[in-house]
């Protein structure tokens, strides 16, 4: 015979269906099929000819936790059956929850359901969605609706304020902090995914771009590797950070006056400790954001060296960068470097779909394949490569020599 614990498990499995029923009732005044209650629990209720003593031992704890005894819980319905061995006996016929109160009390979900109805009451009158759109949204966001928001005053009202404002001001070009609402900036930052969900089912990544808000400027950090410092008017500095929108006009400044080579380095510490190079500028690329430099047309006039991690993603970045600047050479991303520091190789992530970067030289492709074929040791982080080794590479790769390694012809 079923136990009270098993009834609870079966009842909890129906909770998602109950929430959908509740949403449809609240927003549309109807249900998908029929009324949710009474909710019957399918179970082994025993047989008429079961041993009487064993039957009583099993039914007693079930009865003690039922509504029949406690006043609120599952209800046990009995029927009188004539048995061969014991005459007329009361046997269990049905297990059911008669109403919402009994059901929610038993599975301890009254507070969660109250959270849902409170949220729906606000959303129904204050969000910009139509009733149909709101119903679809609610059915897909039951976890958001049942969550405890008691620590945040007027949580759902503020969510509506933010979503409605973004709906009405789709190209504001304001920072989040500048949005003229009574909610604090942190509230919007914390609840980007929820606010965005009223507009789309896709990711809330690039929230600002998707909602016409001003994004934090992408800062390009760069330093001089030569003896000549960077010059800004009467000020001479060794390092600068500029918003991308300003960096793309760097050729109009004096900073590039003596520069012949542009070196792009992925890791920050490698960038900071990169050895001296005459007439060279070093840019901290930090991952795929290096492709943001595609807007810098003046880069076409310089020799470019790219120094990334020796892994699949590092070569993908190199390939992507060459789409815009095909003269780019890789630095310390060759087979000799990989073999020299093989002991430091570790497990890295493969490219999505096992794709293969297109814009690689023959040697770079050989290194890429070597990494791909060794799934347990397919990543050599560039900070594992010593400064002395880098200096040796620079000695073999003089900065004033013409770029003979990479041309459009041998990129296939």
Concatenated DSSP letters of 40-91 = E-------TTS-HHHHHHHHHHHHHTSHHHHSSS-EEEEEEEEETTTEEEEE
Dihedrals φ, ψ of 326, to 5°? -65, -15
pLDDT digits (tens, 9 = 90+) for 16-33: 999 999 999 989 876 545
DSSP H helical segments within 202-290, as ranges? Answer: 207-210, 244-247, 268-273
End-to-end CA distance of the chain: 71
**pLDDT for residue 170 is more than 80:** yes
pLDDT greater than 90 at residue 89: no
pLDDT of residue 46: 60
Instruction: Please tell me the predicted confidence (pLDDT) of residue 412.
Output: 39
Mean per-residue pLDDT, 228-234: 87
Q: pLDDT tens across 25-79, in order? A: 989 876 545 589 999 998 776 665 566 677 788 889 999 999 999 999 999 999 8
Residue 405 has pLDDT above 70, yes or no: no
pLDDT for position 362? 95
Instruction: Report, as an integer, the average pLDDT of 167-187.
Output: 95
For the stretch 278-337, pLDDT in tens is: 999 999 998 777 888 998 999 999 999 999 999 999 999 999 999 999 999 999 999 999
Rounded Cα distance between 327 and 346, Å, is: 30
Q: Is the model's pTM score more than 0.85?
A: no
Residue 225 to residue 272: CA distance in whole angstroms: 10
Average pLDDT over residues 393-411: 52
The predicted structure's pLDDT at residue 51? 65
Residue 402: per-residue pLDDT: 39
Give the torsion sign (CA, 296, 297, 300, 302). negative
Helix (H, G, I), strand (E, B) or coil at 28: helix
The pLDDT score that the predictor gives to residue 34 is: 59
Distance CA 125, CA 162 (A): 15
More confident residue, 90 or 93: 93
pLDDT at 35: 81
pLDDT exceeds cutoff 90 at 155? yes
Q: Is the pLDDT of residue 378 over 70?
A: yes
pLDDT reported for residue 398:
54
Average pLDDT of span 394-401: 62
Q: What local confidence, expressed as pLDDT, does residue 175 receive?
A: 95
pLDDT of 397 strictly over 80: no
- Is 117 a residue whose pLDDT tops 60? yes
- Cα separation, 70 vs 101, in Å, equals 13
pLDDT tens for residues 245-289?
Answer: 999 999 999 899 889 999 999 999 999 999 999 999 999 998 777
Please indicate whether residue 79 or residue 133 has the higher confidence score (pLDDT). Answer: 133
- Contact (Cβ atoms closer than 8 angstroms) between residue 330 and residue 372: no
Residue 160's Cβ-side half-sphere holds a number of Cα atoms within 13 Å equal to 16
Residue 346 has φ and ψ, to the nearest 5°, of: -140, 180
pLDDT given at position 287: 79
């Amino acid at each position: 015979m079923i136990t009270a614990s098993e009834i609870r498990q079966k009842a909890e499995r129906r909770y998602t269906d109950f929430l959908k029923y509740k949403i449809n009732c609240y927003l549309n005044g109807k249900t998908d099929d029929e009324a949710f209650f009474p909710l019957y629990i399918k179970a082994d209720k025993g047989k008429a000819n079961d041993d009487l003593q064993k039957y009583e031992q099993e039914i007693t704890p079930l009865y003690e936790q039922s509504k029949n005894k406690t006043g609120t819980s599952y209800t046990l319905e009995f029927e009188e059956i004539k048995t061969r061995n014991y005459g007329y006996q009361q046997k269990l016929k049905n297990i059911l929850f008669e109403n919402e109160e009994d059901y929610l009390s038993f599975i301890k979900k009254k507070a969660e359901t109250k959270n849902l109805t409170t949220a729906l009451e606000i959303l129904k009158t204050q969000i910009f969605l139509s009733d149909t759109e709101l119903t679809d949204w609610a059915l897909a966001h039951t976890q958001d609706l049942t969550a405890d928001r008691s620590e945040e005053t007027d949580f759902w009202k503020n969510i509506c304020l933010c979503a409605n404002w973004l709906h009405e001001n789709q190209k504001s070009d304001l920072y989040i902090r500048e949005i003229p609402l009574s909610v604090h900036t942190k509230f919007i930052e914390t609840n980007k995914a929820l606010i965005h969900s009223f507009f789309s089912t896709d990711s809330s990544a690039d929230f600002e771009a998707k909602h016409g808000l001003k994004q934090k400027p992408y800062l390009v950090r760069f330093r001089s590797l030569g003896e000549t410092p960077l010059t800004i008017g009467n000020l001479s500095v060794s390092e600068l950070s500029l918003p991308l929108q300003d960096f793309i006009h760097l050729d109009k400044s004096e900073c590039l006056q003596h520069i012949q080579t542009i070196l792009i380095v992925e890791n920050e510490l490698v960038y900071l400790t990169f050895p001296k190079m005459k007439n060279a500028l070093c840019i901290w690329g930090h991952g795929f954001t290096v492709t943001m430099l595609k807007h810098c047309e003046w880069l076409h006039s310089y020799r470019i060296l790219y120094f990334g991690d020796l892994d699949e993603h590092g070569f993908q970045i190199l390939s992507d960068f060459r789409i815009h600047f095909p003269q780019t050479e890789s630095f310390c991303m060759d087979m000799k470097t990989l073999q020299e520091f093989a002991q430091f190789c570790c497990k890295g992530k493969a490219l999505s779909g096992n794709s293969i970067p297109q814009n690689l030289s023959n040697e770079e492709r050989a290194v890429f394949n070597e990494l791909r074929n060794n799934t347990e040791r397919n990543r050599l982080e560039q900070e594992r490569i010593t400064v002395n080794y880098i200096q040796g590479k620079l000695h073999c790769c003089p900065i004033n020599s013409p770029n003979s390694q990479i041309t459009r012809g041998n990129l296939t």
